[in-house]
Amino acid sequence: MARYVGYKKPKNTKKTVLRLMHYLGSHKILLFLVAVLTAIGSLANIMGTYLLKPVVNNYILPGDIPGLLKMVLLMGLMYLAGVLATLGYNQLMVRMAQKVVSEIRHDLFVHTQSLPLSYFDAHTHGELMSRFTSDADTISEALNSSFTLLIQSGIIITGTIVMLVVLNWRLSLIVLFFMALMFLFIQFNSRRSHKYFTEQQNNLGSLSGFVEEMVTGQKVEKVFNHEAQDFDEFCRRNEALRKAGTRALSYSGMMIPTIVSLSYFNYAVSACMGGLFALANLIDIGSLTSYLVYVRQTAMPMNQFTQQMNFLLAALSGAERIFEMLDAEPETDEGTITLCKAEEQPDGTLTQCEPSRGVYAWKCPEADGGFRLVPLKGDVRFFDVVFGYTPEKKILNHINLYAKPGQKIAFVGSTGAGKTTIINLINRFYEIDSGTITYDGLDVRDIRKKDLRFSLSMVIQDTHLFTGTIADNIRYGRLDASDEDVRRAAKLASADSFIRRLPKGYDTMLYSDGGNLSQGQRQLLAIARAAIADPPVLILDEATSSVDTATERMIERGMDSLMEGRTVFVIAHRLSTVRNAKAILVLEHGEIIERGSHEELLEMKGRYYKLYTGQFELE
């Protein structure tokens, strides 16, 4: 892959390098070995060139065949060492690079999952994805080759400079001057190309955004015969990208030829001056010849050195972005109360027991080191809860609510009224600003998040399915569920009949978020997934919005029997979905404006009544 990433300077190079080194762990010694091997390889190379002259002058010219044989064997050994060293460091580096990068990816993945949802709200998926892809790739590439190439060219440059100074220090000033010039040019050029590459990247982003939008909206495009106009728009963006790309690459492509030409200038000036020096007897002709050979050798390592330096810097800034993400604060979890399987004794008390009887209890540690068991019932209360995604804008204002175990509570209200937010607070996807939420009388903040969420099943607005079979997706709710359980849950969610009509039934593979299913079918699967978990508390957030009313009724009957005696929260746009709830809460602008049963609310002739009779549209 061509590495055409313009680089941004890392902010804190030293710290980033240290952290990267940490990933090398026990391989730090190996890294040192790599450096040594690289040095051996490059020295073998330089020495080989250097030895040619004495071999020719001292052995070939006098015709000393045994001496020549000895020298050839000696050089052979040296070369062999060089080859083996090269082989060694290449292979070592490849393995190390992959190990480091795979560990970085692992840490990133694990950390990603511990991040709070607010982090995902603040960053786009594309942005987070690129940590795993392009940023990790640049690190891998840099470790793979840049590191050793950098050492190699560094050694060659130093070696050459030393040789030049030794041969004739006055003449070497010319070379040093040109080297400085090359260095400055490379710096200037890469800074400028970085600007152009950013421009190219932006154009590419705009183009792929367009293509993505058009591919997803292709039905509309076809229905409206809009192909020609879209093609024109595509061509416009494509052309802009082509222009930006050409600019960027013309510019960055100039680098090598310019360096080469500079080295020709260097060569020309050195040759002229060398000639004059020779006339003035400041240098003998033999030394001048080998001097000029070394001069010719300066350009390529210079070029390589700076290029690899830039790759390395790009990798470091990639690493910096990765570390930034790794440093993001994970979800806090100070809860100590855990969930355990319990058994009710004849005397009504609870004891902990291993095989599940479907009864759970909260295990609350006491100050004396013991614990007390609180039965899990699904009693959820909000006391004066205030919450906002940002401190400036409160979404919920002083919410008080009480869900008795076994009740079905429904939320009705416009988009943005705060229905989903309330639910996201129960399972602590977000932290409340003030007030208290209790669960079976315990503050939710005292319950370990894992256990809290385990006790709640959620079907959310946007159904997300995973690549895998339909059965796998349902089983996501309870990993050890049997095939029979899967089928039962599917039946409960009215999904069984459509699944059986699929070509491979429960073994049908789903790809890319279940793209081959209709929205309604995906919702049914999401409900089955929640049903199989058999949770004490169930949350349905617009779970049946794309399901027809008849099927919805069937699901409702199924879920009602499953959730008998347990708490259910329902959010729906469609009022038929919430009608049989025990309590319906009408939310507006983060406040509960009406509450009561369906009949009571109709009596009130307020907002709910208007909604129900179609006089008011939810937004």
Region 574-603 residues binding other proteins, contact defined as CB under 8 A: 575-576, 602
Which secondary-structure segment (H or E) carries 346?
none
Work out which of 138, 457, 567, 577 binds other proteins, going by CB under 8 A: 457
549 binds other proteins (CB under 8 A): yes
Work out which of 347, 484, 599, 617 binds other proteins, going by CB under 8 A: 617
Choose between 71 and 353: whose C-beta lies nearer to other proteins: 71
CA 244 to mean position of chain CA atoms: 28
User: Applying CB under 8 A, which part among 7-15, 101-109, 175-183, 391-399 lies near other proteins?
Assistant: 101-109
Work out which of 236, 357, 450, 557 binds other proteins, going by CB under 8 A: 450
Beta bridge partners of 413: 587
39 binds other proteins (CB under 8 A): no
Give the count of beta carbons closer than 10 Å to the beta carbon of residue 109. 10
C-alpha 264/C-alpha 268 separation (Å) is 6
281 binds other proteins (CB under 8 A): no
CA distances from 236 to 210, 211, 232, 240, 319 (A): 11, 13, 6, 6, 35
Answer yes or no: are the C-beta atoms of 153 and 111 closer than 8 Å: no
433 binds other proteins (CB under 8 A): no
Task: Give the strand order in the sheet containing 434-439.
Answer: 396-403, 380-387, 434-439, 442-443
- DSSP per-residue letters across 514-527: TTTS-HHHHHHHHH
212 binds other proteins (CB under 8 A): yes
Task: Report, in angstroms and rounded to the nearest whole number, the Rg of the chain calculated over CA atoms.
Answer: 36
**What is the size of the binding site for other proteins (CB under 8 A)?**
166
CA 375 to mean position of chain CA atoms: 40
66 binds other proteins (CB under 8 A): no
Choose between 154 and 514: whose C-beta lies nearer to other proteins: 514
245 binds other proteins (CB under 8 A): yes
User: Applying CB under 8 A, which part among 29-37, 266-274, 314-322, 431-439 lies near other proteins?
Assistant: 266-274
Q: Which region holds residue 598: left if phi is over 0, alpha if psi is between -120 and 50, else beta? A: alpha
Work out which of 7, 16, 43, 59 binds other proteins, going by CB under 8 A: 59
User: Applying CB under 8 A, which part among 30-38, 288-296, 312-320, 564-572 lies near other proteins?
Assistant: 288-296
Q: How far is the CB of 24 from other proteins (least distance, A)?
A: 15
Structure tokens at 541: 């957030």
Work out which of 54, 209, 441, 565 binds other proteins, going by CB under 8 A: 209
Which residues between 307 and 346 bind other proteins (CB under 8 A)? none
Choose between 264 and 402: whose C-beta lies nearer to other proteins: 264
What's phi and psi for 110, nearest 5 deg? -60, -40
Answer yes or no: are the C-beta atoms of 147 and 302 closer than 8 Å: no
Structure tokens at 166: 């030794």
Give the count of beta carbons closer than 10 Å to the beta carbon of residue 468. 14
- Per-residue binding string, other proteins, 115-154, x by CB under 8 A, is --x--x----x--xx--xx------x---x----------
User: Applying CB under 8 A, which part among 212-220, 313-321, 393-401, 481-489 lies near other proteins?
Assistant: 212-220
Work out which of 429, 485, 591, 595 binds other proteins, going by CB under 8 A: 429
* Lookup result for tokens 């710096």: 187
466 binds other proteins (CB under 8 A): yes
Work out which of 26, 66, 113, 561 binds other proteins, going by CB under 8 A: 113
Which residues between 361 and 420 bind other proteins (CB under 8 A)? 414-415
Q: How far is the CB of 74 from other proteins (least distance, A)?
A: 10
Amino acid 571 reads I
Structure tokens at 596: 């009561």
CA 491 to mean position of chain CA atoms: 37
B/e letters for 143-167, b = 16+ CB within 10 Å, e = fewer, are bbbbbbbbbbbbbbbebbbebbeeb
C-alpha 476/C-alpha 527 separation (Å) is 11
222 binds other proteins (CB under 8 A): yes
- Per-residue binding string, other proteins, 4-23, x by CB under 8 A, is x-------------------
C-alpha 267/C-alpha 233 separation (Å) is 52
Work out which of 177, 384, 516, 565 binds other proteins, going by CB under 8 A: 516
86 binds other proteins (CB under 8 A): yes
User: Applying CB under 8 A, which part among 9-17, 382-390, 436-444, 572-580 lies near other proteins?
Assistant: 572-580
Choose between 502 and 593: whose C-beta lies nearer to other proteins: 502
C-alpha 220/C-alpha 215 separation (Å) is 10
Rounding to the nearest 10 degrees, give the CA dihedral for residues 428, 430, 432, 433. 160
173 binds other proteins (CB under 8 A): no
User: Applying CB under 8 A, which part among 20-28, 112-120, 400-408, 580-588 lies near other proteins?
Assistant: 112-120
Choose between 10 and 340: whose C-beta lies nearer to other proteins: 340
Choose between 13 and 416: whose C-beta lies nearer to other proteins: 416
**Of 104, 142, 136, 113, nearest in space to 25 by CA:** 104
